[in-house]
Amino acid sequence: MEKRSYAPVFDARTIAEYAIFIAIVLVMRITHLTSIPVGPLVMTLAMIPIAIGAMLLGPLGGAILGTVYGFTSLYDAMTGASAMTGVFFQLSPILTVILCVVIRGLVGAATGWLFQLFKKLDKHRIWCYFAGGLAAPMLNTVLFMGYIVLVFYRTDFIQNMVAAKGAVNPLMFIILVVGIQGLVEWITGCIVAGAVTKAVAHALKRD
């Protein structure tokens, strides 16, 4: 059985694997498969290839893929394609860069780190892949919305949303905004990313 090292050794095979995953993220973005508009937010399916990449390539791979997706999210903010981040970019371009790019990079890296921990705990490789698939969309929701509450909660834009939804505190606001959308993202990531990664890892003898 091949022992997979996550050390950043960029041989031809590793570069090719990174290129394939980056291409998948970009193609999904270009074809609008990464996002489905749901009210002021966007249901993000891009976490699926990011989760798969983080589990197969490690934390660095996850960070790179998350950052690539983050730049596409930043583009949406700059062009106004995303209603919420478009407003944030007008308020503070720097804080929006952190929200769109840095947070997504952290999500990818953290997914890779957590998966390494899950693999150590799951000796028989029964649930670790599905836990890793769940980690990416869950972390994306928690970190993305957590940052919005921390930095933009007092802005008129968010306060209007708070009033419209009848939220009495930041936690309730997050729950009301994310709602079913978040659960669908988590379940989809868990099942799809988990199943695909498990199959690929077995085929490549990395499990």
Domain housing 16: 12-203
Task: Tell me if 80 is assigned to some domain.
Answer: yes
Task: Tell me if 184 is assigned to some domain.
Answer: yes
Kindly give the confidence (pLDDT) of every residue in the chain, 207 residues in length, as a single tens digit, with 9 standing for 90 and above: 445 555 456 678 888 989 999 999 999 888 877 666 656 556 678 899 999 999 999 999 999 999 999 999 999 999 998 889 999 999 999 999 999 999 999 999 999 999 999 999 999 999 999 999 999 999 999 999 999 999 999 999 999 999 999 999 999 999 998 887 788 889 989 999 999 999 999 888 777
Closest CA to 137 of 153, 114, 167: 114
Task: Tell me if 122 is assigned to some domain.
Answer: yes
Task: Tell me if 161 is assigned to some domain.
Answer: yes
Q: How many domains does the chain have?
A: 1
Number of H helices, E strands in the chain: 10, 2
User: Looking up tokens 């999210």, which residue turns up?
Assistant: 73
Report the interhelical angle of 156-165 vs 170-188 (nearest 10°). 80
The total number of residues written for the chain in this structure: 207
Task: Tell me if 65 is assigned to some domain.
Answer: yes
pTM score of the predicted model: 0.87
CATH number at residue 193: 1.10.1760.20
